[in-house]
């Protein structure tokens, strides 16, 4: 079984949204051989997802209310086949935990065609419109990643 790990800061918005969206994208493609997880570089273990992130996911037909934050560990990085980070800083933190993880790390924004900025902005503390815009970017990147995973 292949493993994909999404990483953001608090594991409250971006990475769990990406986790749940990719799970649906893979399910829609009939791919059941990929385990999708998420974690945060500065996560407080057990915290629920941000309320606005849960609400945005409800608009997408996805129930993320049961999500609980997890802190990124070296073991998670070791077990992952692909590590998708939201910001360059997340990549640096992952590399500090596991210096030889570089070949499996990708900035999520690089998966979205035509984007110059490869970082996915943090919507935490922002309004619902910003959460929606962030979710749209994540959906595009997750669809591209799902296509790639299915074709491999």
Catalytic position from the list 13, 14, 24, 70: 14
Catalytic position from the list 2, 3, 8, 136: 8
Where on the phi/psi map is residue 105: left (φ > 0), alpha (ψ -120 to 50), or beta? Answer: beta
Residue 13 is among the residues annotated as catalytic for this protein: no
Calculate helix-pair angle for 128-151, 14-28, nearest 10 degrees. 40
User: Cβ(91)–Cβ(107) under 8 Å?
Assistant: yes
Catalytic position from the list 3, 29, 115, 122: 122
Q: How far is residue 52 from each of residues 21, 26, 72, 107, 119, measured CA to CA in Å?
A: 16, 24, 23, 23, 20
Residue with tokens 């997340």: 90
Residue 135 is among the residues annotated as catalytic for this protein: no
Residue 122 is among the residues annotated as catalytic for this protein: yes
Catalytic residue numbers, as ranges: 8, 14, 122
């Amino acid at each position: 079984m292949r493993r994909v790990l999404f990483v953001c800061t608090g594991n409250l918005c971006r990475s769990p949204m990406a986790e749940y969206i990719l799970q649906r994208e893979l399910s829609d493609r009939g791919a059941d051989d990929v385990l999708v997880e998420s974690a945060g570089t500065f996560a407080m273990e057990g915290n629920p997802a941000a309320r606005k992130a849960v609400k945005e996911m409800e608009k997408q037909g996805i129930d993320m209310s049961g999500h609980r934050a997890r802190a990124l560990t070296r073991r998670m990085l070791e077990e992952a086949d692909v590590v998708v980070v939201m910001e360059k800083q997340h990549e640096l933190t992952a590399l500090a935990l596991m210096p030889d993880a570089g070949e499996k790390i990708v900035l999520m924004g690089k998966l979205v065609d035509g984007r110059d900025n490869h970082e996915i902005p943090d919507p935490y503390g922002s309004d619902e419109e910003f959460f929606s815009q962030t979710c749209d970017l994540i959906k595009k990147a997750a669809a591209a990643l799902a296509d790639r995973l299915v074709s491999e």
